[in-house]
């Protein structure tokens, strides 16, 4: 055990404050193109969103979650920030009928028992948590994904030379705090015990405002054991 103080971004207040200050550059105002790309890679493997149960951990104000519910998925969107959850609730109220369903819940993704889903959708959640919590992330998404189910989404990955031997690095201008980029090797080590990697490659449709080459489309299948 360590007595090191918790990083501010390991607490809900840090994130709520950023939402309140509109200091939320991760919000694209639309679903992530890379998430949609990963979903289409999944549907090319005959796995459809429609009718699937989907978890969106660290959903923020939920552009991805809403798009998935519009596409017919039964979505649980989870975030610990009451500001994010309230804003997503407002969007949901204004959204009109959905082909699927969307439930929004406020809790800590890394400790809550959220149930088991067909698909877990990742977008700027892993890069937002403190790197010391990456094993907890792996445990949480592995528990939330049924055997044979999928983890899909957008991962921020750097080349090994960019990391100078470290497993991750802050991508901010001053080199402190989220988002954190890691590497393909780190991700494979983190999730390879419980997932098979079906696709992990630089995105074809990255966001033009993000650092080029950093967004990777991922499709992983949950192993039966582990």
**List of residues contacting ligand SAM (CB under 6 A):** 15, 26-27, 58-60, 79-81, 84, 108-110, 123-125, 128-129
By C-beta, is 41 or 83 nearer to ligand SAM? 83
Report which of 72, 102, 67, 97 is spatially closest to residue 85, judged by C-alpha positions.
Answer: 102
**Count of alpha carbons within 13 Å of 26, Cβ hemisphere only?**
27
In angstroms, how far is CA 139 from the centroid of its own chain? Answer: 14
Query: Could you tell me the smallest distance in angstroms from the CB atom of residue 217 to ligand SAM?
Result: 15
Residue 20 to residues 49, 54, 93, Cα–Cα distance (Å): 32, 27, 20
- To ligand SAM, the closest distance from the beta carbon of 88 in angstroms equals 10
**Is the Cβ of residue 81 or residue 194 nearer to ligand SAM in the bound state?**
81
Nearest distance in Å: CB 136, ligand SAM: 8
Task: Report the alpha-carbon distance of residue 172 to residue 174 in Å, rounded.
Answer: 5
- The residue number whose beta carbon is nearest to ligand SAM equals 60
CB of 133 to ligand SAM, least distance (A): 8
Q: Which residue lies nearer to ligand SAM by CB, 172 or 196?
A: 172
CA separation for the pair 17, 125 (Å, rounded): 17
Q: Which is nearer to ligand SAM, 60 or 131 (CB)?
A: 60
């Amino acid at each position: 055990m360590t007595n090191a103080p918790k990083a501010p971004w390991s607490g809900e207040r840090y994130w709520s404050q950023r939402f309140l200050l509109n200091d939320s550059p991760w919000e694209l105002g639309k679903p992530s193109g890379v998430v949609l790309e990963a979903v289409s890679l999944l549907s090319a493997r005959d796995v459809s969103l429609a009718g699937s149960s989907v978890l969106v951990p660290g959903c923020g104000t939920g552009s991805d979650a809403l798009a998935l519910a519009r596409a017919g998925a039964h979505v649980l969107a989870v975030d610990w920030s009451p500001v994010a959850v309230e804003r997503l609730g407002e969007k949901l109220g204004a959204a009109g009928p959905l082909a699927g369903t969307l439930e929004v819940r406020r809790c800590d993704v890394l400790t809550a028992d959220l149930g088991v889903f067909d698909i877990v959708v990742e977008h700027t959640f892993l890069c937002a948590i403190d790197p010391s919590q990456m094993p907890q992330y792996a445990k949480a998404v592995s528990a939330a994904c049924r055997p044979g189910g999928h983890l899909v989404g957008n991962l921020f990955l750097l080349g090994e030379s960019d990391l100078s031997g470290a497993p991750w690095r802050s991508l901010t201008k001053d080199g402190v705090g989220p988002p954190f980029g890691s590497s393909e090797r780190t991700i494979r080590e983190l999730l390879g015990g419980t997932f098979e990697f079906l696709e992990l490659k630089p995105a074809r449709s990255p966001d033009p405002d993000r650092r080029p080459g950093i967004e990777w489309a991922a499709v992983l299948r949950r192993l039966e054991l582990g």
